[in-house]
């Protein structure tokens, strides 16, 4: 197989896996949490992947605000309320929302969205409604960021059930 054909085949395989990952994410959110995102717009995968990387690079390099606490449902809800109050003036702004592994923990399964950072574009306030439905089953990172990186946050839970919220901008 020539190099060009091999490269083309790899691109097509990845494109198909990303398409399948989106379908699985939509189905799992609907089936397990009664959250319908079928009418939502997905970000182009290349952009989604690029932004995902930039967000983690920013967290590593920039001075950002954060707080950490042991997992407790009431504390988590109050911290999420704090974050959304902090960004209140952006409630209607469209953001990139990565629900890809949030609320699911099927690492041994064939859920492709666990391997591909898939982002939706939603108004910030709508993200909160989805997050509040999923927080009881949090097992991995959740990311919300403005398209220009002016503000955003990453909500993480580690293996010891400590929750960290890292946020920037205002």
Mean model confidence pLDDT for the chain = 85
- The DSSP result for 116-159, as a single string, is S---EEEEHHHHHHHHHHHGGG--S-EEEEETTSSSEEEEEE-T
**Structure pTM?**
0.84
pLDDT tier at 102, thresholds 50, 70, 90: very low
pLDDT at residue 106, as a whole number:
47
- Parallel, antiparallel, or unpaired for β 120-123 and 152-157? unpaired
Domain map (residue ranges) of the chain: 3-168
Determine the Cα–Cα distance for residues 89 and 71; give it in Å rounded to an integer: 28
pLDDT, mean of residues 71-89:
93
- The DSSP result for 32-50, as a single string, is HH----TTSEEPPHHHHHH
Range scoring the smallest mean pLDDT among 28-32, 96-100, 109-113, 137-141: 109-113
pLDDT, mean of residues 132-153:
83
């Amino acid at each position: 197989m020539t190099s060009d054909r091999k490269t083309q085949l790899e691109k097509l395989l990845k494109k198909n896996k990303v398409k399948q990952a989106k379908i699985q994410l939509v189905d799992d959110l609907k089936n397990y949490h009664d959250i319908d995102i079928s009418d939502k717009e997905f970000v182009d995968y290349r952009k989604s992947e690029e932004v995902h990387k930039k967000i983690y690079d920013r967290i590593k390099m920039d001075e950002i605000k954060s707080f950490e606490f042991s997992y407790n449902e009431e504390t988590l809800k109050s911290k999420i309320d704090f974050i959304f109050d902090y960004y209140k003036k952006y409630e209607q702004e469209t953001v990139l929302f990565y629900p890809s592994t949030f609320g699911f923990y099927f690492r041994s399964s064939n859920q492709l969205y666990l391997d591909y950072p898939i982002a939706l574009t939603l108004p910030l306030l709508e993200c909160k409604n989805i997050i509040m439905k999923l927080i009881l089953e949090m097992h991995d990172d959740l990311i919300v960021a403005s398209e220009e990186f002016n503000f955003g946050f990453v909500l993480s839970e580690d293996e010891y059930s400590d929750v960290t919220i890292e946020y920037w901008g205002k």
